[in-house]
Amino acid sequence: MPKLPSYLPMRVPLLDLGEQYRALSEPIREAIHDVLASNRFILGPKVQAFEKAICGYCNAPHAVGVSSGTDALLAILMALGIGPGDAVITTPYTFFATAGCIARVGARPLFADIDPETYNISPSAIRECMEKNCEVDSEGASRTRSGEKVRAIVPVHLFGLCCEMDALHEISERFHLDLIEDAAQAIGSEFPFGETTAKAGTMGEVGFFSFYPSKNLGAAGDAGMIVCRDETLARRLRTFREHGMGPRYFHHVIGGNFRLDEIQAAILGVKLPFLERWAAARRAAADFYCAEFARVGLTGIITPLAAPYRDRGLTNHHVYHQYVIRVPMRDALREHLDKREIETAIYYPLGLHEQKCFAYLGYKKGDFPETERAARETLALPIYPEISREAQRYAVDAIAEFYGSQLANQPKTT
């Protein structure tokens, strides 16, 4: 019989935002009240202050508050003039919005497979994709076989771990591509870039964050932020954020309403000073999972790489937006954990190249084997800054219980 935990069963949610709010409820209520009393609801002082705070936190020259991570990418692509006749390289193993925005501006998403250890887009897969699908035209631009001009790479720092930005930078320079960082899941994550350590979002031309409530820095609704180096691009982004308007009621480009709400900025401004502490707590929880898997002897579980580039003298700072393991019999394990009231999630069950809405791109099953394998084998366990060690131990015991019974039930193989 597998050993059962010695304490009472408990319910372990994937994410619990309750404690965070209890700790900050007073300053958050005050900040909301300030906005209501000020009658400044759109692009007021709270948005300005929060943009400035993000610049300071990330060491980014410019920050533009927007309505969501999705709208951030949409505005970026519009401001860079990427549209019909263009192609943009990205990963098929990400949240839909990354490729959705590329398609919405009329450009073609060009997928490159992931690295199986980091789950991030693989630089060598991008090089292969360029060699296989693209040719350099007479003007030195890379074009796909169907004639689209390759304009940009959108790497996604998935689950809170930075992509190999040095390699991606090299590729983008070589092929004259813009590097647009999808840092929606990775605010605060770092990478040893050039001479210093840089924060996610600040290593390409432009990057963006999402403040969707469940992200590491969550708003009370939808919100996002763009960071960039170039002042002209920042000005363009501000214009696109407000219907391409400037001065008022004079529109020289077609933008949209991509504004960050004053109330959301006020709430996020209260939370930002705690982000580093929360990231450290997430890292401690990740370390504890590792120690617990070792304690119960679960050596077959592949835990997230914390510093994947250590062999090259590079350290890396994971912020564990998700704690994703790779396991055998994933779906049966998930069912077992569900019975034990331990909530898990699958990010993501289907690669974007296999999504129905992208059928017109002409990809098929088997095109991105590492993405497809990750979609079959990975499972996200509960993680958030305040998660208790008891809850984590309970989850690991339940996983050990599952594999213990599985091994006992399995016919012996030789």
Ligand X SMILES: *Cc1c(COP(=O)(O)O)cnc(C)c1O
What are the backbone angles phi and psi of residue 382, rounded to the nearest 5°? -55, 130
Task: Pick from 224, 304, 308, 351 the residue near ligand X by CB under 6 A.
Answer: 224
Interface segment toward ligand X; rule CB under 6 A; list 15-23, 41-49, 126-134, 178-186: 178-186
Nearer to ligand X, 60 or 226 (CB): 226
Is 322 near ligand X (CB under 6 A)? no
CB of 97 to ligand X, least distance (A): 4
Nearer to ligand X, 92 or 224 (CB): 224
CB of 292 to ligand X, least distance (A): 27
CB 163 within 8 A of CB 190: no
CB of 95 to ligand X, least distance (A): 4
Return the half-sphere exposure (C-beta side, CA atoms, 13 A cut-off) of residue 28.
16
Nearer to ligand X, 68 or 122 (CB): 68
Is 69 near ligand X (CB under 6 A)? yes
Is 91 near ligand X (CB under 6 A)? no
Is 207 near ligand X (CB under 6 A)? no
* Beta-strand pair 149-154/86-90: parallel
Nearer to ligand X, 68 or 118 (CB): 68
Is 57 near ligand X (CB under 6 A)? no
CA distance 324 to 349: 13
Task: Tell me which residue of 346, 338, 345, 337 sits closest to 398, measured CA to CA.
Answer: 337
Residues 107 to 126 in contact with ligand X, rule: CB under 6 A: none
Is 161 near ligand X (CB under 6 A)? no
CB 176 within 8 A of CB 105: no
DSSP codes joined into one string, 304-365: PPS-TTGGGT---B---SSEEEE-TTHHHHHHHHHHTTB--B-S-SS-GGG-GGGGGG---T
Q: How many residues bind ligand X (CB under 6 A)?
A: 15
Is 201 near ligand X (CB under 6 A)? no
For 169, other C-beta atoms within 10 Å of its C-beta total: 17
User: Which helix (H) or strand (E) element contains residue 174?
Assistant: helix 165-174
Task: Pick from 50, 57, 95, 258 the residue near ligand X by CB under 6 A.
Answer: 95
User: Which helix (H) or strand (E) element contains residue 51?
Assistant: helix 45-58
User: How many residues are given for the chain?
Assistant: 414
CB 155 within 8 A of CB 168: yes
Task: Tell me which residue of 406, 404, 402, 397 sits closest to 12, measured CA to CA.
Answer: 397
Interface segment toward ligand X; rule CB under 6 A; list 182-190, 230-238, 295-303, 337-345: 182-190
Task: Pick from 94, 118, 216, 378 the residue near ligand X by CB under 6 A.
Answer: 94
Task: Pick from 51, 60, 63, 68 the residue near ligand X by CB under 6 A.
Answer: 68
How would you write 350-408 as a 3-class SS string?
CCHHHCHHHHHHCCCCCCCHHHHHHHHHEEEECCCCCCCHHHHHHHHHHHHHHHHHHHH
Interface segment toward ligand X; rule CB under 6 A; list 62-70, 277-285, 290-298, 389-397: 62-70
Interface segment toward ligand X; rule CB under 6 A; list 66-74, 140-148, 293-301, 326-334: 66-74
Nearer to ligand X, 222 or 262 (CB): 222
CB of 336 to ligand X, least distance (A): 27
CB 220 within 8 A of CB 267: yes
Task: Tell me which residue of 361, 121, 79 sits closest to 236, measured CA to CA.
Answer: 79
Task: Pick from 90, 122, 210, 216 the residue near ligand X by CB under 6 A.
Answer: 210
CB of 181 to ligand X, least distance (A): 10
CB of 113 to ligand X, least distance (A): 17
Nearer to ligand X, 68 or 371 (CB): 68
Write out the residues near ligand X by the rule CB under 6 A.
68-70, 94-95, 97-98, 156, 182, 184-185, 210, 212, 222, 224
